[in-house]
Amino acid sequence: MDEKQTSSSPESRLPAFTTKNSVALIVLLWLLLYVPGLWSPPLLDDADSVHAEAAREMMLRHDWSTLYVNGLRYLEKAPLLYWSMAASYEVFGTTDWAARVPLAVGVLALLLSTFFIGRNHFSTAAGYYAALVLGLSFGPYIYTRILIPDILVALWLVLGLHCFLMAVDQPYPSLTACWGMAATAALGVLTKGLIGLVFPSAAVLIFLVLTRNLRLLLRMRLVSSLAVFLAIAAPWHIVAGLRNPAAGQARGFFWFYFVNEHFLRYINQRFPRDYDTVPLLLFWTLALLFLLPWSAFAFKAVAAVPRSWRSWGTLSRSGRALLLCAITIVVVLGFFSFSSRQEYYVIPALPALALLLGNWLAEEQRSPADSPIRIAGKRIALVTLLVAVPVAAAVLGMLWLSQSVPPQSELSDLLTRNPSEYALSFGHIFDLTPRAMGMFRPELLLLGMTLAGGALMNWILRRWNRARGANAALALMMLVSLQCVHSALVTFAPILSSRTLSDSVAAMYRADDVIVINGAYEDASTLNFYGHLALHVLNSRENGNLYFGSLFPDAPAVFEDDISFSRLWLGRGRVFVFTTQGEIPALLVRTGYRTIARSGGKLILANHL
């Protein structure tokens, strides 16, 4: 379907959006923004390298049913992301960029799926703008810099809802539509557990109730669809349960995976508790913040959703899609409103919001110059400019206040530490100080100028009734801004990653050496992935995600207490200790140590060379 513009549209003389050109631009955007991030920065400590290591050990063990990390069972995660990373290792080798390939491909699949869904239910321009919104926003970008599966959850959810809309359009739902819903729900379950089933099921059920069409369920081939769902989702769960039964102190896979990781996590009683909960108001606000600047149009976009309940039973094709998108957003955000929440839990709701935004932006573009939607676009552009200018001024103000940093300075020496914030993803951002800003001067300059320039051009072009050009200005602004974000992440990498320390230890490591982490395993997990080095952990058995794996009788003895660590340190064997500055164990201070490497406020110490 190609975009049709009315003759009264100010941009009717511009070339119409076509599927071919839209797909080419979406792929180009992905190539420019997401592909360079495959190689830098290095994997981060905690979830990023932990998940990469789980996939590496899966490949080495040829065990596709049970995840292992540092030789210990890691039973808390669904397997699909790890299967894809392990397969990528088989093809490209065990590298950090190979670990990132499946997620990058998943982003491209999500962008193209969003485009085709928007095209099929609204217009080609709407699909293009929906993909543009999703691909050029902070939230989807930043949470694909870490190896977490939430963007894949968004992919399966939006594909499943598309299959449902296909079923609604058909007098008798086809096998493709019904089995497609079942398959995508099953893939969602294999990606991140039961929410893969809960989200689409809740959205579909609420939609059918509101449109007074519950009888459609009787025509949706429930028996065969259930068989498809179980055929995809059940085998791994059954095999994982059989291979990881309760043993010794361990309760087994089914209790840990379903009770601890699903229900207890939902009510904020999961053990170990290694995360904070985002305040409820902030959580809902993040849906808008993550899609800035496009979410400036969100209230108008949501207002386009049919609001009269009397009309919901006779909606047009596009009206049904708009209503389902709105329901999906409420389902995702509402579900987590009653549970523990992380910032990235918002991600599955973003494609639905992007589709609403894409539809509104396309409607604005093809409307007459004096239409209410054009006037609204101009007002929103002005408000965006009034917000962007002080934000840009603040960014440039940080540049002005920043201090010159001597060559070879360590960023860690310029930061403050706020450990209470580290349970939040990217909690280290609270460590930044005016002195540290000196390390980010190029990014601050470019970001400040880009935000001001992009918002200004958006306002000017919308005043001239050139909405298409205004959207292009916003897209260019975000493309440059996200490149600044990537550059800043590379600069910040020594704080968040121990790659440099891993390389230093790996060059000296001998088979009988022992590496001990003064803290949780996740604090130095990059040593495990990059150096392929087994790690011991000091006094942190219950503070990380390897605790339950350590309860199995065959678990390797990698957890040390003060007594066992003292024997190691004072023995004849060589012991390396990973620690942070200011937290050197008292035994080392008392007996002496040698500093092997230092990076990002972290140290590698040894008892002897």
pLDDT in tens, 483-534: 999 998 998 888 889 999 999 999 999 889 999 999 889 889 999 999 898 9
How far is the CA of 434 from the CAs of 67, 137, 318, 438, in angstroms? 42, 26, 50, 7
* 110/232 same-domain check: yes
Residue 333 belongs to a domain? yes
Averaged pLDDT of the chain: 89
Each residue's pLDDT tens digit, 314-361: 788 889 999 999 999 999 999 999 888 888 999 999 999 999 999 999
Q: How many domains does the chain have?
A: 3
312 domain-assigned: yes
Q: Are residues 487 and 503 in the same domain?
A: no
| Position 582 pLDDT exceeds 90 | no
Can you tell me the distance from the alpha carbon of 38 to that of 431, in angstroms, rounded to the nearest whole number? 26
Q: For residue 547, what are its two tokens?
A: 């605790």
- State yes or no: pLDDT of 419 exceeds 70: no
Q: Please give the pLDDT value at position 600.
A: 85
pLDDT average, residue stretch 298-305:
92
Residue with the two structure tokens 């689409």: 200
The Cα–Cα gap between 350 and 328 comes to: 10
- Spell out a b/e string for 573-602, using b for 16 or more CB atoms within 10 Å of the CB, else e: ebbbbbbbeeebbebbeeeebeebbbbbbb
Q: Which residues of 343-373 are buried (b: 16+ CB within 10 A; e: fewer)?
A: bbbbbbbbbbbbbbbbbbbbbbbbbeeeeeb
**Residue located via tokens 């808008």:** 288
Instruction: Give the model's pLDDT for residue 1.
Output: 43
Dihedrals phi, psi of 276, to nearest 5 degrees: -105, 170
In this structure, the answer to whether residues 307 and 429 fall within a common structural domain is no
With a cut of 70, say whether residue 414 has pLDDT above it. Answer: no
Whether residue 386 is contained in a domain is answered as: no
Residues 151, 290 within the same domain: yes
Report whether the peptide linkage leading into residue 41 is cis, meaning its omega lies within 30 degrees of zero: yes
Domain identity same for 420 and 339: no
SS3 383: helix
Do 430 and 503 share a structural domain?
no
Whether 275 has a pLDDT exceeding 70, the answer reads: no
Specify the pLDDT at position 252. Answer: 87
Kindly report, residue by residue over 260-273, the tens digit of the pLDDT: 888 888 787 777 77
| HEC assignment per residue over 117-134 | HHHHHCCHHHHHHHHHHH
Q: How far apart, in whole angstroms, are the C-alpha atoms of residue 375 and residue 382?
A: 11
Least confident of 13-27, 354-368, 575-589: 13-27
Q: Which amino acid is at 169?
A: D
Same structural domain, 546 and 590: yes
Dist CA 45 CA 280 (whole Å)? 27
* 2 has a pLDDT exceeding 50: no
Is there a contact between 549 and 77 (Cβ–Cβ < 8 Å)?
A: no
Q: Are residues 335 and 297 in the same domain?
A: yes
H or E element in which residue 514 lies: strand 514-517
- What is residue 264's predicted lDDT score, i.e. its pLDDT? 82
Domain presence at residue 248: yes
Alpha-carbon torsion (201, 207, 208, 209), positive or negative: positive
Contacts of 139 by beta carbon, 8 Å cutoff, 6+ apart: 286, 289, 290, 291, 344, 346, 347, 350
- The answer to whether the beta carbons of residues 515 and 41 sit under 8 Å apart is no
- What is the pLDDT, as a whole number, of residue 7? 47
What are the E-state strand segments in 138-271?
A: none
| Domain annotation covers residue 383 | no
- Confidence class for position 426, pLDDT limits 50, 70, 90: low
Q: Could you give the residue ranges of the DSSP H alpha helices within 66-174?
A: 80-92, 96-121, 124-135, 138-142, 150-169
CA atoms within 13 A on the CB side of 173: 24
Residue where a domain terminates, one of 350, 365, 380: 365
| Domain that includes residue 156, residue range | 19-365
Half-sphere exposure of 559 (CA within 13 A, CB side): 16
Weakest mean pLDDT among 80-84, 234-238, 383-387, 542-546: 542-546
**What pLDDT shows up at residue 409?**
67
Classify residue 382: in a domain, yes or no: no
Q: What is the pLDDT of residue 492?
A: 84
User: What confidence tens digit (pLDDT) does each residue in 369-388 have?
Assistant: 888 999 999 999 999 999 99
The answer as to whether 379 is a domain residue is no
- Do 92 and 145 sit in the same domain of this protein? yes
- Looking at per-residue pLDDT, the higher value among 370 and 31 belongs to 31
Give residue 49's pLDDT band: very low, low, confident or very high (50, 70, 90). Answer: very high
pLDDT band at 421 (very low <50, low <70, confident <90, very high): low
**Domain annotation covers residue 370:** no
| Cβ contact 249:551 at 8 Å | yes
Which residues are bridge partners to 598 per DSSP?
Answer: 603
Percent of the chain whose pLDDT exceeds 90: 63
Helices and strands (H and E) in the chain: how many: 23, 8
Residues 425 and 563 in one domain: no
279 burial (CB, 10 Å; 0-12 / 13-18 / 19+) is: exposed
Q: Do 306 and 425 reside in the same domain of the chain?
A: no
Last residue in a domain, options 477, 494, 511: 494
Q: Is the dihedral of CA 10, 12, 15, 21 positive or negative?
A: positive
Of all residues in the chain, what percent carry a pLDDT higher than 70? 93
Among 365, 381, 408, identify where a domain stops.
Answer: 365
pLDDT mean over 552-567: 91
Same domain? For 293 and 270 the reply is: yes
More confident residue, 277 or 169: 169
Contact 367, 375 (CB under 8 A): no
**Looking at residues 38-42, what average pLDDT do you find?**
92
Query: Would you say the pTM of this structure is higher than 0.75?
Result: yes
The Cα–Cα gap between 181 and 550 comes to 38
Residue 11 or residue 102, greater confidence: 102
Any idea what the Cα angle at residue 364 is, between residues 360 and 365, rounded to 5°?
120
Residue 3 has pLDDT above 80, yes or no: no
Quote the pLDDT of residue 272: 75
Predicted pLDDT at 78: 94
Higher pLDDT, 543 or 596: 596
Say yes or no to pLDDT of 368 above 80.
yes
Q: What is the mean pLDDT of residues 444-452?
A: 92
pLDDT of 430 reads 65
